[in-house]
Structure 1
Amino acid sequence: MTLLAGAAVLGATVTVVVVNRETTAPPVAAAPVAAEVTLETSLWKSRKVKAAVQDEHTPLELGTRFKAARDGEVAGMRFYKPAAERGTHRGSLWSSDRKLLAKVSFTAETKSGWQQAMFDRPVPIVAGRVYTVSYHTTNGGYVASPGVFDEPVVSGPLTAQAGVFAPSAKAAFPSRVHHRRVSYWVDVIFRHRERHYPRPSDSPAPGDPSVSPTSSPEGSASPTVSETPTGGVTTTPTADGSPSPSSSPTRSHTSDASESPTASGTPKPSGSPTPKASPSATPRPSLSPDPTRQPTREPSATPKPTQTTTPPPAGGFPGAGDTGVPSGVSLKDSKSITVTKDGTVIDGMEVKGEINVEADDVTIRNTRVAAAPGDWGIIQRNGHSGLTVEDTEVFGDGKQRTQFGILNQGGDLTVRRVDIHTISNGILTEQGLIEDSYIHDPKYYSGDHTDMIMCTSGPPSGAKLVIRGNTVVNTLEQTGAVALFQDFGVVRNVTVEGNFLAGGGYTVYGGAGSKGTSSNIKVVGNVFSKDVWAKGGYNGPVAYWDKDGSGNEWKNNVWEDGKTVPEGG
Structure 2
Amino acid sequence: MSLLAAAAVLGATVTVVVINREPAPAPTANAAPVSADVTLESSLWKSQKAVKGKARSENTPLELGTRFKASRNGEVAGVRFYKPASERGTHRGSLWDSDKKLLAKVTFTDETRSGWQQALFSEPVPIVAGRVYTVSYHTKHGGYVAAPGALADPVTVGPLTAQAGVFAPSAKGAFPFRRHRAHVNYWVDVVFRHRERRPRPSAQPTGGVTAEPTASQPEGSPSPSPTLTGQPSDGVTSTPTTSGSASPSATPSNSGTSTPTSTPTRSSSSSPSASHSPKPSLTPNPTNQPTKVPSSTPTRTTTPPPTGGFPGAADTGVPSGTTLKQSKSITITKDGTEIDGLEVHGEINVEADNVTIRNTRLAAAPGDWGIIQRQGHTGLTVEDSEIFGNGKERTQFAILNQGRDLTVRRVDIHTISNGILTEQGLVEDSYLHDPKYFSGDHTDMIMCTSGPPSGATLVIRGNTVINTLEQTGAVALFQDFGVVRNVTVERNFLAGGGYTLYGGAGSKGTSSNIKVVNNVFSRDVWAKGGYNGPVAYWDKGAPGNEWKGNVWEDGKVVPEGG
TM-score scaled by length of structure 1: 0.77
TM superposition shift of 1:176: 7.0
d(CA) in 2 for partners of 1:54 and 1:301?
Answer: 51
TM superposition shift of 1:435: 0.6
Say if 1:228 and 1:476 are closer, same or farther in 2 by CA, change over 3 A. Answer: same
Structure 2: gaps (5+ residues): 247-253, 258-275, 286-292
8 Å CA contact 2:39, 2:195 repeated in 1: yes
Matches within 5 A, 1:408-423: 408-423=401-416
8 Å CA contact 1:92, 1:101 repeated in 2: yes
Counterpart amino acid of 1:315?
G
Give the secondary structure class of the aligned counterpart of 2:8.
strand
Q: Which residue of 1 aligns with 2:91?
A: 90
Q: Which residue of 2 aligns with 1:37?
A: 39
8 Å CA contact 1:347, 1:365 repeated in 2: yes
Number of aligned residue pairs: give it: 514
Work out the percentage of aligned pairs sharing the same amino acid: 55
Counterpart amino acid of 1:520?
N
Which digits, 9 at most, give the CA deviation of each residue in 1:504-542, with x for residues without a partner?
Answer: 222222223333332222222221212122222223222
Counterpart amino acid of 1:284?
P
TM superposition shift of 1:186: 4.8
d(CA) in 1 for partners of 2:149 and 2:437?
Answer: 35
Q: Which residue of 1 aligns with 2:166?
A: 163
d(CA) in 1 for partners of 2:382 and 2:438?
Answer: 26
8 Å CA contact 2:208, 2:331 repeated in 1: yes
**Aligned partner (choices 299, 302, 324) of residue 305 of structure 1:** 299
1:8 has 2:12 as partner: no
Which digits, 9 at most, give the CA deviation of each residue in 1:307-340, with x for residues without a partner?
Answer: 142x201111100101112223333333333333
Say if 1:143 and 1:232 are closer, same or farther in 2 by CA, change over 3 A. Answer: same
Say if 1:235 and 1:404 are closer, same or farther in 2 by CA, change over 3 A. Answer: farther
d(CA) in 1 for partners of 2:379 and 2:46?
Answer: 46
Q: Which residue of 2 aligns with 1:265?
A: none
Matches within 5 A, 1:308-347: 308-309=302-303, 311-347=304-340
**Aligned partner (choices 467, 474, 479) of residue 467 of structure 2:** 474
1:431 has 2:424 as partner: yes
Which digits, 9 at most, give the CA deviation of each residue in 1:76-100, with x for residues without a partner?
Answer: 321342x6x3543423326545687
Counterpart amino acid of 1:196?
R
d(CA) in 1 for partners of 2:155 and 2:227?
Answer: 58
Which digits, 9 at most, give the CA deviation of each residue in 1:468-488, with x for residues without a partner?
Answer: 110011122222211222222
d(CA) in 2 for partners of 1:3 and 1:382?
Answer: 52
Say if 1:345 and 1:510 are closer, same or farther in 2 by CA, change over 3 A. Answer: same
**Aligned partner (choices 339, 360, 363) of residue 356 of structure 2:** 363
d(CA) in 1 for partners of 2:47 and 2:359?
Answer: 45
8 Å CA contact 1:360, 1:384 repeated in 2: yes
Q: Which residue of 1 aligns with 2:198?
A: 197
Matches within 5 A, 1:208-247: 220-226=221-227, 228-231=229-232, 234-237=235-238, 245=243
**Aligned partner (choices 391, 399, 403) of residue 392 of structure 2:** 399
**Aligned partner (choices 75, 78, 82) of residue 75 of structure 1:** 78
Give the secondary structure class of the aligned counterpart of 1:335.
strand
d(CA) in 2 for partners of 1:347 and 1:210?
Answer: 15
Counterpart amino acid of 2:113?
E
Say if 1:353 and 1:99 are closer, same or farther in 2 by CA, change over 3 A. Answer: closer
Give the secondary structure class of the aligned counterpart of 1:399.
coil
d(CA) in 2 for partners of 1:229 and 1:370?
Answer: 24
8 Å CA contact 1:335, 1:351 repeated in 2: yes
8 Å CA contact 1:43, 1:187 repeated in 2: no
8 Å CA contact 2:516, 2:547 repeated in 1: yes
1:385 has 2:387 as partner: no
Which digits, 9 at most, give the CA deviation of each residue in 1:117-136, with x for residues without a partner?
Answer: 32474552544475552232
d(CA) in 1 for partners of 2:68 and 2:430?
Answer: 44
8 Å CA contact 2:419, 2:432 repeated in 1: yes
Counterpart amino acid of 2:420?
I
8 Å CA contact 1:529, 1:560 repeated in 2: yes
TM superposition shift of 1:177: 3.5
8 Å CA contact 2:369, 2:396 repeated in 1: yes
1:531 has 2:531 as partner: no
TM-score scaled by length of structure 2: 0.78
d(CA) in 1 for partners of 2:36 and 2:522?
Answer: 36
C-alpha RMSD of matched pairs (Å): 4.1
Counterpart amino acid of 2:202?
P
8 Å CA contact 1:4, 1:50 repeated in 2: no
**Aligned partner (choices 545, 550, 553) of residue 546 of structure 2:** 553
Q: Which moved more, 1:471-480 or 1:533-542?
A: 533-542
TM superposition shift of 1:16: 0.8
Q: Which residue of 2 aligns with 1:61?
A: 62
d(CA) in 1 for partners of 2:53 and 2:325?
Answer: 61
Say if 1:78 and 1:468 are closer, same or farther in 2 by CA, change over 3 A. Answer: same
d(CA) in 2 for partners of 1:32 and 1:246?
Answer: 19
Which digits, 9 at most, give the CA deviation of each residue in 1:144-198, with x for residues without a partner?
Answer: 6667777777664355555223353xx4436573774774715133222121324
Counterpart amino acid of 1:245?
S
Counterpart amino acid of 1:188?
D
Q: Which residue of 2 aligns with 1:103?
A: 107
8 Å CA contact 1:499, 1:526 repeated in 2: yes
Counterpart amino acid of 1:390?
E
Give the secondary structure class of the aligned counterpart of 2:314.
helix
d(CA) in 1 for partners of 2:89 and 2:497?
Answer: 26
Counterpart amino acid of 1:478?
Q
TM superposition shift of 1:545: 2.6
d(CA) in 1 for partners of 2:56 and 2:210?
Answer: 69
Say if 1:3 and 1:483 are closer, same or farther in 2 by CA, change over 3 A. Answer: closer
8 Å CA contact 1:71, 1:125 repeated in 2: yes
TM superposition shift of 1:391: 1.5
Counterpart amino acid of 1:383?
G
1:498 has 2:483 as partner: no
Which digits, 9 at most, give the CA deviation of each residue in 1:384-422, with x for residues without a partner?
Answer: 211222212222232333322222121111111111112
TM superposition shift of 1:230: 1.3
Counterpart amino acid of 2:35?
V
Give the secondary structure class of the aligned counterpart of 2:63.
strand
d(CA) in 1 for partners of 2:465 and 2:32?
Answer: 35
8 Å CA contact 1:40, 1:192 repeated in 2: yes
d(CA) in 1 for partners of 2:3 and 2:106?
Answer: 33
1:519 has 2:519 as partner: no
